[in-house]
Amino acid sequence: MTSSSDPLGHRFADAALLEQALTHRSAGRPNNERLEFLGDALLNLIVAEYIYEHYPKASEGEMTRLRAALVSGAALAELAREEAVGDLIRLGAGELKTGGFRRESILADTLEALVAAIYLDAGWTVCRQLMRELFASRVAEAEGRVAKDPKTRLQELLQAKGFVLPIYELISTSGDDHSKMFEVSCVIEPFGLMARGHGSSRRAAEQSAAEQVFDQAQAAIAARRKAHKA
């Protein structure tokens, strides 16, 4: 847990840099706004690298969703609370009266500022290692918290109930080479269901069609199960 002498597990050599990282703009200058900017970029890179290593089979879209979940304002504020960062923040009188040290945005911004300050104080290797340690369990657990794409959800729904997989067929393409649009159908034969999706790539059109037919498939499966029980 964070303490005044080693926030996020780092002992600062530059006390002035630490003070700046913990100073909200309401408390005057120098404050941590510029450090927030740098810390945001560092966290995105470090977490993206970790996800890339930890989930070698994840698609670009899956990795993007994982990163967004891990470095969202809410996620960073939760981490800041666990590390007791709120106890260290320097706030102006107005923010103190309104409980600014508990505010999600202030907690998340201060955490980002601390990341940047660690990087400036000790360098890339130390900063990267500390962040990987802080995010290790979160990266390991994140996959189950992130919504799967529509095609995967539809496939898993049908497989779980013992039905054949959907059939995707390209219906048409239109537009110039640099701005093509695709139309794709998604057919679920056991229920006679069909939906059409459009997108700037065939994959995007398939995702759109799967999303449209998912609720219908779920309802059809429930109706069939109910009929069998009757």
Catalytic option among 83, 95, 109, 112 = 112
Find the farthest-apart pair of alpha carbons in the chain and give their distance in angstroms, rounded.
Answer: 74
Tokens of residue 12, six digits: 């600062």
Residues in the chain: 230
177 carries an active-site annotation: no
Q: Is 109 a catalytic residue?
A: no
Catalytic residue among 36, 40, 121, 206: 40
**CA-CA distances (angstroms) from residue 88 to 21, 81, 94, 101, 157?**
10, 11, 17, 9, 48
The residues that are catalytic are 40, 112
